[in-house]
Amino acid sequence: MSFIDSIRQIAKRLFGVDPVTTQAAVSVMEKSEADYLRLGGYNITAIFAARLAAFTVSESSVEVIGDNQRAELIGDVLTRTWKKSKKFVSKAYGTGGVLLIPYVTGRKIYVDIVPQASMLINRMNGEDLRAVSIIADSTVRDDKIFCRWTDYDLADNGTLTIRQRATDRTGKPIPLAWVPEWAFIAEEIRITGVESLPFAYLKNPTDNRISHGHYGVPVTFGCDDKIKEIIECQEDIRREYKLKKPIVGMDQTLFGQKDGRRYLPVTGLFMPVTPSGLNATGKLWDVYDPAIRDSSYYTRYNHLCEELEKQVGTSRGILTERVTNAATATEIKAANQDTYAIISDMRIAIEDAFRQLAYAVDVYANAWSLSPMGDYDLAFDWSYALIESSQETFTQMVTAAATDAVEAAEIRQFIFPAESLDEARERVSEISRAKADLSDQLMKQALAEEARRNPVTMEYDEPDEE
């Protein structure tokens, strides 16, 4: 029985659902997950995913705007989740997609990162998920594997039903209480007035090349042949260096063992030579010492890497050396435009996912009465270091500040991106006050010194006595 048939039967037995997820889709997801998680060898997909994730989220941030407790609650959850952004964005690039699933424990909301291969789609409304079953968690107790399943079903009237079940590795149902971490979870809850399922699905925007693909594919999807060529070229290079080993011919009397004394072993660097000049096999020695063909091998290797970057759709700099001779912002942007186009699409997907995650947190906050209701909005600050010269951008900002197009706090925030705009404004005000105080002190000192050097005698007439 295939994996998809197995989990489909378990989901049907636990929740009475009939998933629409196909065997072909699960096969692609299983392979993508296995390729990305493979630790041995040269994992090209993982390299692409890690580099693109770094370009996508480094020096970037998300902020929840709103002066109320609900905005603070959502901001806390999203901030904690953003700290793991490089991890789940890399996983989305490498496997095709991840789920960000919030859950409530101890009146606090946490977020789990779940691979898309753990999700079975049961019903959709256009492109919107309306009912799914997810292997939300797994754990090991006494050498036994237990899985927690979550079923989400959003009815047309806005009623969301969430059901939780636990099984052993064979799919046999067990009580949730068997696993201490799951003991507090309610088996079923209903929430009314819900517009979408309460989790975020971050899907890699790479084209899956089918008309109706509900699941994402990895960034290297369709590049298996080229990746295989690169691995084979690496094996050829490794073999070339491995075979290039020196051998020293020594008199055969120096080898073996005699009178309890051990001599040179016939292995590695030294080989025996008979007095007649023959080797141990009775053949004449013949020096074969070709030069290592590193130039031709590495030329081919770099060419294959360039071809793979083009096939994936990135600019140079993922597997090959980046172009570093660009000086102006225009040249930098042109050199990295292809890579930037990919990360720009992923940033749009991240914004959609975080808005959906914020909505899910809002729904749970209402259901569990975690904070008073309140309005909120999301603001994303993305880094453009990949396509901009920081020096040129700083010069532009200083020029803009001189014409009152931007404020000094925005320039400070550019230098210290970890600060919020309010923090930057406060720090700029502190610096301005300190400078004003210092200027005032210097002025007083200068006046006092001038008065000391050039004392002025005041003369005045005595009043007339009458």
Percent of the chain with pLDDT over 70: 85
Q: How confident is the model at residue 169 (pLDDT cuts 50, 70, 90)?
A: confident
Q: What is the pLDDT of residue 351?
A: 96
Structure tokens given for 163: 């059901």
Least confident residue range of 12-16, 27-31, 236-240, 435-439: 435-439
Mean pLDDT of 339-358: 95
What pLDDT, in 10s, does the model give residues 74-132?
999 999 999 999 999 999 999 999 999 999 887 889 999 999 988 999 999 888 899 99
Higher pLDDT, 322 or 158: 158
Least confident residue range of 36-45, 151-160, 206-215: 206-215
Exposure string over 415-437, b if 16+ CB within 10 A, otherwise e: eeeeeeeeebbebbeeeeeeeee
Tokens 């925030």 belong to: 413
User: How much is the mean pLDDT over the chain?
Assistant: 85
Structure tokens given for 199: 């989790």
Q: Distance of CA 253 to CAs 247, 248, 279, 386, 409, Å?
A: 17, 14, 13, 66, 83
Residues 6+ apart with CB under 8 A from 208: 96, 215, 216, 217, 221
* Res. 297: pLDDT tops 70: yes
Q: Distance of CA 374 to CAs 70, 73, 77, 109, 193, Å?
A: 5, 10, 16, 17, 16
Least confident residue range of 186-190, 220-224, 439-443: 439-443
Q: Which amino acid is at 454?
A: N
Q: What is the pLDDT of residue 293?
A: 80
Q: What is the pLDDT of residue 465?
A: 59
Q: How confident is the model at residue 360 (pLDDT cuts 50, 70, 90)?
A: very high
Q: What is the pLDDT of residue 74?
A: 96
Higher pLDDT, 378 or 28: 378
What pLDDT, in 10s, does the model give residues 218-274?
999 999 999 999 999 999 888 888 877 777 777 666 776 666 565 666 666 777 776
Q: How confident is the model at residue 192 (pLDDT cuts 50, 70, 90)?
A: very high
310 CB-side CA count, 13 A: 7
Q: What is the pLDDT of residue 444?
A: 77
* Res. 55: pLDDT tops 90: yes
CB 152 within 8 A of CB 131: yes
Higher pLDDT, 405 or 164: 164
Least confident residue range of 57-61, 213-217, 303-307: 213-217
Length of the chain: 466
Would you say the pTM of this structure is higher than 0.85?
A: no
